[in-house]
Amino acid sequence: MIKISRLPLGPMGTNAYVIHENKKALVVDPGGDFEKLENYLKERELDVEAVLLTHAHFDHIGAVDDVRREYNAPVYIHENEADWLEDPAKNGSALFGLGEIKAGTADHFFEIGQMEIGDFTFEVRFTPGHSPGSVSFVFRNQRFTIVGDTLFQRGIGRTDLPGGSRTQLEKSIEEQLFSLRNDMRVFPGHGLPTTIEEERNENPFFN
């Protein structure tokens, strides 16, 4: 049975997620604190199959190279942010005075739609607005979706950073996320999980 674990990591307490089954794992958005993440993986004897990035803002990428190096795990990102990992001006770390937070070039670009990595099968949905390459990962059979900084519990992602668009963000949420089933659990880039039904009915940005 596939399990999902949430680990707040890095300078902004960004939610990294470990999706795991049968000692294999996918790591989503390793934002920093590699030692904490590594301890979690080693305690459960998990081998990382890949690193998936919802987008390339600095607070989501701090431990990317550590995970890639330790587990020989390929890194996936949307092509719209192909050069953001290496560029502190684009990934935002230069704007926040945190020094240069960056990572090496991604190994693969996502193709939108059904995707298989090892024994994991999920859907990649293109959900730009917070950033031009934001994506969400839908694990339909397990009824959870990882949405990065697109949608939060009673909130939405900020759109005042380079490449952001409020109009595009709202369209992504309404068309790509609110089209999911009501009981779909939503795991955001910051804060606590929620559900599609809760956000459709109670999110102040859509009511």
Query: Is residue 96 over pLDDT 90?
Result: no
Smallest CA-to-CA distance from 164 within 200, 136, 129 is with 129
Q: What is the pLDDT of residue 162?
A: 87
Q: Using H for helix, E for strand and C for coil, what is the string for 125-186?
A: EECCCCCCCCEEEEECCCCEEEEECCEECCEECCCCCCCCCHHHHHHHHHHHHCCCCCCCEE
Interval 58-78 mean pLDDT: 97
Q: What's the pLDDT score for residue 36?
A: 97
The pLDDT of residue 97 is above 80: no
pLDDT tens-digit map of 172-188: 999 999 999 999 999 99
Cβ pair 30, 42 in contact under 8 A: no
Strand partners, 186: 145, 194
Check pLDDT > 80 for residue 106. yes
Write down the pTM of the prediction.
Answer: 0.97
Over its C-alpha atoms, the chain yields an Rg (Å, rounded) of 16
Which pLDDT value is given to residue 175?
Answer: 98
3-202 CATH choice from 3.60.15.10, 3.90.1200.10, 3.30.590.20, 3.40.50.300: 3.60.15.10
pLDDT tens per residue, range 128-156: 999 999 999 999 999 999 999 999 999 99
